[in-house]
Amino acid sequence: MGDEALSAGAVARRLGVAVTTLRTWHQRYGLGPSHHVPGHHRRYTAGDLARLDVMRRLTAAGVPAAEAARWAVRETNPPSAPARGGGGHTIGVGRAGPAARGLARASMRLDAPAMRELVERAVAEMGVVQAWDTVLCPVLIGVGQRHAATQALIEVEHLISRTVSEVLGAVPRPTGGGRMPRILLACADEEQHSLALEALAAALAEAGLGCRMLGARVPPAALREAVARTGPAAVVVWAQAPETADTAQLTPLLTGPGRPVLVAAAGPGWRREALPDGVTAPDCLADAVAATAAVAAGNASPGRS
């Protein structure tokens, strides 16, 4: 194993990530090097590298880091049954339950009515957060993995994304009784992936909280103008890829009159260690709901977590 063990720098080069990212994944999620020789630095084994590669692919696909870490451990420590390869006519959903497996089968058939019924049932019975974590994310992850392995299933990815978006958008929004929403949601500049942000909006609606959802590709000047005009208590900015996660678009939100109580950088694109002081980075959908709900209720103050 000694010949196969790799340094952090070598692993970072293989995966195309920063060494600081590896350290963060090690400290926060336990995805660190496991090979140890007394008197030497720990090294990454082939198994460690496999877990980190799953982590990299899932976070790049928009999966929250904490959830991606759980999947990385599951996918590289499978049950005794043989794993399926990249081919076949199924979408792998790991150890997710029957609801996710049923949605995966309907998605592969491009059975839009069945897909919608299954997504609607999951949201109605479980609530948005649990449905997102246990049904929707496993299927979206599975489709993304199959596409990465085969360069196929683009039509499946588009249909499942559209179906999920429509169901999340149909979650009843609170009327507010004349009060304007105190939460503003926006994708980062040039960020086109908004599905996770739509899940946040729907989860907030379930909690009785309205929000303004600006959607994809919000230029920094437009976001600053929206903040100045609406005076939100909480602003959540989503970035899926590092290319769209320029922290310069966050800094102006922290200064000047009308500063939001909460500025949250959500999504796997952001590097926590690079975020300005005063910006929080929720790990998952439940954390984002809790943080924004606390601020909207007036029970939180600025701070970085």
The CATH number given to whatever domain includes residue 26 is 1.10.1660.10
Q: What single-letter amino acid sits at 238?
A: W
Please give the pLDDT value at position 130.
Answer: 94
210 with 148, same domain: the answer is no
The answer as to whether 257 is a domain residue is yes
Please give the pLDDT value at position 124.
Answer: 96
The answer as to whether 195 is a domain residue is yes
Q: Give the CATH number, domain containing residue 234.
A: 3.40.50.280
The answer as to whether 86 is a domain residue is no
Please give the pLDDT value at position 62.
Answer: 63
Count of domains forming the chain: 3
Q: What is the mean pLDDT of each run of 10 residues along the chain (305 residues)?
A: 69 81 87 73 84 81 75 59 45 85 92 94 96 93 81 90 96 76 92 93 94 94 92 93 90 84 91 90 91 78 43
Q: Which two tokens stand for residue 176?
A: 């507010």
Please give the pLDDT value at position 84.
Answer: 40
138 with 237, same domain: the answer is no
24 with 108, same domain: the answer is no
219 with 142, same domain: the answer is no
The answer as to whether 82 is a domain residue is no
Please give the pLDDT value at position 177.
Answer: 58
Please give the pLDDT value at position 176.
Answer: 64
Please give the pLDDT value at position 34.
Answer: 82
Please give the pLDDT value at position 3.
Answer: 46
Among candidate residues 203, 208, 217, the one with its CA nearest the CA of residue 181: 208
Nearest-angstrom CA–CA distance, 259 and 19: 33
Please give the pLDDT value at position 76.
Answer: 55
Give the structural domain span for 113. Answer: 98-169
The answer as to whether 90 is a domain residue is no
Helix (H) or strand (E) holding 187: strand 183-187
Please give the pLDDT value at position 4.
Answer: 62
201 with 267, same domain: the answer is yes
Q: Which two tokens stand for residue 192?
A: 């086109």
Please give the pLDDT value at position 271.
Answer: 86
Q: Give the CATH number, domain containing residue 163.
A: 1.10.1240.10
Give the end of a domain, one of 150, 169, 188. Answer: 169
The answer as to whether 126 is a domain residue is yes
The answer as to whether 147 is a domain residue is yes
Nearest-angstrom CA–CA distance, 188 and 190: 6
Please give the pLDDT value at position 61.
Answer: 64
Q: How distant, in Å, are the alpha carbons of 25, 63, 210, 233 from that of 268?
A: 12, 7, 25, 23
Q: How distant, in Å, are the alpha carbons of 226, 281, 289 from that of 183?
A: 11, 16, 11
Give the end of a domain, one of 117, 143, 169. Answer: 169
Please give the pLDDT value at position 28.
Answer: 87
The answer as to whether 138 is a domain residue is yes
pTM of the model: 0.73
